[in-house]
Amino acid sequence: MALKVGSPAPDFTLPSHLGKPVTLSSLRGKNVVLAFFPLAWTPI
């Protein structure tokens, strides 16, 4: 089951294709759209 509206977003640090790792909690103060997509070569 997907997390529900109102839950705190679990923090993570992941490598990115732009070279620098991204940490979710470092983006506090911004709205974040986190878009999960199944696999590359499929539309995001």
Partner 1 sequence: MDTQVLGISVDSVPCLTAWAEDLGGIHYPLLSDFWPHGKVAQEYGVLRSEGHSERAIFVIDRQGIIRYVDVHNIDDQPSNEVLRRAIRRIDPTVRDRPEATKPEPVALPRGGIVMYCTRWCPDCKKARAWLAEHHLPYTEVDITTTPGAAEQVERWANGNRTTPTFDIDGEIVVDFDLQRLRQVLKLK
- Interface residues toward partner 1, by CB under 8 A: 1-12, 14-18, 20, 22, 24-25, 27-41, 43-44
- Contact present, 23 and 12 (Cβ < 8 Å): yes
Shortest spacing between CB 11 and partner 1, in angstroms: 8
Rg of the chain over all Cα atoms, to the nearest angstrom? 12
Least distance from C-beta 22 to partner 1, angstroms? Answer: 5
Query: How far is the C-alpha of 40 from the C-alpha of 25, rounded, in Å?
Result: 25
CB of 20 to partner 1, least distance (A): 8
